[in-house]
Amino acid sequence: MSNPRRLSCFARHLSRNVFICALAAILAVPGWAGFAALAQAQEIFVPRFWDPKRRPEKPALGRMTSIRFLTEDDYPPFHFRGPNGLPMGFNVDLARAICDELGVTCTVQVRRFDTLLAALDANAGDAVIASIAITPEARAKAEFTDRYYRTPARFAAKKDSPLKDISPELIAGKSVAVATGSAHEAYIRIFFAETAIKSYPNAAAAFEALKNGEAELAFGDGIALAFWLNGSDSADCCNFRGGPFTESRFFGEGVGIAVKPGNDTLLRALNFALYRLWERGVFTDLYLRYFPVGFY
Residue 202 has pLDDT above 60, yes or no: yes
The answer for residues whose C-beta is within 8 angstroms of residue 162's C-beta and 6 or more apart is none
Residue 48 has pLDDT above 80, yes or no: yes
Mean pLDDT of 196-214: 97
> Model's pTM, two decimal places?
0.79
In percent, the amount of the chain with pLDDT more than 90 equals 69
Q: What is the pLDDT of residue 117?
A: 97
Give span(s): CATH 3.40.190.10, the chain.
Answer: 10-150+252-290, 153-251
CATH class as words, domain 10-150+252-290:
alpha beta
DSSP string computed for 226-244: HHHHTSGGGTT-EEEEEEE
Average pLDDT, the chain: 87
Which residue has better confidence, 13 or 89?
89
Name the CATH architecture for the domain at 153-251. Answer: 3-Layer(aba) Sandwich (3.40)
**Is 199 within 8 Å of 179 (Cβ atoms)?**
yes
Alpha carbon distance 185, 170 (integer Å): 18
Which residue has better confidence, 209 or 251?
209
What is the arrangement of strands in the sheet containing 258-259, beginning at the earlier edge strand? 105-110, 66-71, 127-128, 258-259, 143-144
Q: What is the pLDDT of residue 42?
A: 52
The tens digit of pLDDT for each residue in 92-146 reads 999 999 999 999 999 999 999 999 999 999 999 999 999 998 989 999 999 999 9
